[in-house]
């Protein structure tokens, strides 16, 4: 064991560009032994190491600790260890002090200062690896200096001042609808990605151009006490099964399917010839899926902001309704549903980009294709395995029809049971 603060454990990358540091003290007053508490049968510090090791761009994973048991767990999970000095391991020591110590330790060990620091908290048991990868990419390519995980919030906040409660982020006399409010964001604490030079200069995790990487609320749990731990343990079986509870195959019992066109029926690209005419690529499998829905009597609508005639031609080929050149998708969807006598909560909507959000917020089943933008992924109740133009529509069609078949079988079983 090295006792000069240098990392040890698994072999260190000779010149790591991106390092992940997981601060994990041995002492915790709120929940003793917190960083070794098990969620899904796995210690919290081990869960964090596994996510970091699986991330696409991280060159070295280090656990900063003063505790022998945590150090052993970190090594067993495949991380290096930075022995944290006593002055950085007190109740009042900041996370920044442990991070700076780890950065300097890596530089002393390798002779090279890393470019990007990924700060992961072991107390966040459900760190979204895909979101973490996106955050690192945003810092690596220079879009942001800092990116952190957060969930959108439309909560009305209040504070107590003397004998009266006062609205913090709203006027008490005005209660705008959720869809009319710009969301605020709550830090999840799961990860912070930052440029090392800026962090060393600021000695703080927030500096320069700061970006938010949205994550699903289920990934926002932070274990600070026994109640948090109990909640995480209950959620672990569903989240750990797939990495995201929305990727399971749910029962999507609906009366209509509405989809965007570009990025859902297509891969969001277009060919343009010398005369400026556009053409797109679609999937025959999607066409077969739509045909099955029509045969089952389920209404299908293509709702697109694109005014190109190709949208209407594809809808005509599929034999489905089409509204294209639509700017206000939420209003158009609500009007269409009312004209058909279909309740919004009985509609599945598949989208991929931000202009789909007003429609996604209205329906009972907001669904995203696999390669949707982060805002849509967060808003989705279910995320498809397929990407746009590569069978996503067929996938949702099969899910809907399978759900209908299951519902019919259950109804038959109930009828037979009643008859007996």
The pLDDT confidence band at residue 65, using thresholds 50, 70 and 90, is very high
Does one domain contain both 237 and 293? no
Count up the domains in the chain and report the number: 2
Does one domain contain both 57 and 189? yes
Classify burial at 52, counting beta carbons within 10 Å of its beta carbon; exposed 0-12, middle 13-18, buried 19 or more: buried
Does one domain contain both 150 and 287? no
Which CATH number does the domain housing residue 101 bear?
Answer: 3.90.550.10
Average pLDDT, the chain: 87
55 has a pLDDT exceeding 80: yes
Could you give the CA distance from residue 304 to residue 39 in angstroms, rounded to a whole number?
43
Q: Cβ contacts of residue 141 below 8 Å, gap of 6+?
A: none
Question: Which structural domain range is residue 404 located in?
Answer: 256-408
Could you give the CA distance from residue 342 to residue 297 in angstroms, rounded to a whole number?
13
**H helix intervals, 323-368:** 329-340, 357-360
Of 399, 344, 304, the closest CA to residue 179 belongs to 344
Identify whether the C-beta of residue 300 lies closer than 8 Å to the C-beta of residue 320: yes
Handedness of CA 228, 229, 232, 234 (dihedral sign): negative
Of 141, 371, 420, 416, the closest CA to residue 269 belongs to 371
- Summarize pLDDT for 366-420 with one digit per residue, the tens: 999 988 988 888 788 888 888 999 999 999 999 999 888 876 665 665 565 555 5
Does one domain contain both 151 and 46? yes
- Summarize pLDDT for 135-157 with one digit per residue, the tens: 999 999 999 999 999 999 888 89
Which CATH number does the domain housing residue 271 bear?
Answer: 3.40.50.1000
User: HSE-up of 48 (CA within 13 Å, CB side)?
Assistant: 34
Does one domain contain both 234 and 264? no
Handedness of CA 383, 385, 387, 390 (dihedral sign): negative
82-86, 197-201, 237-241, 306-310 — most confident range = 197-201
6 has a pLDDT exceeding 50: no
Average pLDDT value for residue range 78-89: 82
The pLDDT confidence band at residue 285, using thresholds 50, 70 and 90, is very high
Which tokens go with 227? 């109640």
**H helix intervals, 296-347:** 309-318, 329-340
Does one domain contain both 225 and 287? no
Whether 4 is in a domain gets the answer no
């Amino acid at each position: 064991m090295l006792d000069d603060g240098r990392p040890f454990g698994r072999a260190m990358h000779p010149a790591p560009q991106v390092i992940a540091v997981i601060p994990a003290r041995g002492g915790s007053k709120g929940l003793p032994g917190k960083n070794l508490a098990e969620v899904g049968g796995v210690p919290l510090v081990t869960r964090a190491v596994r996510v970091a090791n699986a991330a696409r761009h991280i060159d070295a994973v280090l656990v900063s600790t003063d505790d022998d048991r945590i150090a052993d767990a970190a090594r067993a999970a495949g991380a290096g260890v930075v022995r944290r000095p006593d002055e950085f391991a007190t109740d009042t020591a900041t996370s920044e002090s442990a991070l700076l110590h780890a950065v300097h330790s890596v530089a002393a060990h390798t002779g090279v200062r890393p470019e990007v620091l990924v700060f992961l908290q072991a107390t966040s048991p459900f760190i979204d690896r895909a979101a973490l990868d996106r955050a690192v990419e945003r810092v690596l390519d220079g879009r942001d200096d800092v990116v952190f995980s957060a969930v959108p919030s439309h909560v009305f906040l209040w504070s107590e001042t003397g004998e009266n409660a006062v609205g913090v982020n709203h006027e008490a006399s005005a209660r705008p609808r959720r869809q009319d409010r710009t969301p605020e964001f709550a830090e999840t604490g799961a990860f912070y990605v930052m440029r090392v030079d800026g962090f060393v200069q600021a000695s703080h995790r927030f500096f320069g151009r700061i970006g938010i990487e949205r994550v699903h609320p289920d990934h926002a749990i932070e274990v600070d006490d026994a109640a948090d731990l109990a909640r995480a343990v209950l959620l672990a079986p569903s989240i750990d099964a797939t990495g995201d509870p929305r990727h399971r195959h749910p029962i999507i019992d609906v009366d209509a399917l509405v989809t965007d066109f570009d990025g859902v029926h297509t891969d969001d690209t277009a060919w343009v010839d010398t005369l400026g005419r556009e053409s797109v690529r679609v999937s025959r499998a999607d066409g077969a899926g739509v045909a099955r829905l029509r045969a089952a009597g389920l209404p299908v609508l293509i709702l697109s902001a694109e005014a190109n005639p190709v949208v209407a031609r594809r809808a005509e080929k599929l034999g489905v309704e089409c509204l294209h050149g639509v700017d206000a998708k939420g209003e158009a969807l609500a009007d269409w549903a009312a004209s058909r006598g279909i309740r919004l909560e009985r509609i599945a909507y598949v989208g991929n980009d931000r202009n789909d959000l007003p429609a996604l917020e209205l329906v009972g089943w907001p669904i995203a294709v696999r390669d949707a933008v982060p805002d849509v992924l967060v808003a989705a109740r279910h995320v498809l395995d397929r990407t746009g133009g590569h069978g996503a529509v067929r996938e949702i069609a099969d899910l809907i029809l399978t759900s209908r078949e299951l519902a019919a079988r259950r109804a038959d079983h109930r009828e037979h049971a009643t008859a007996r």
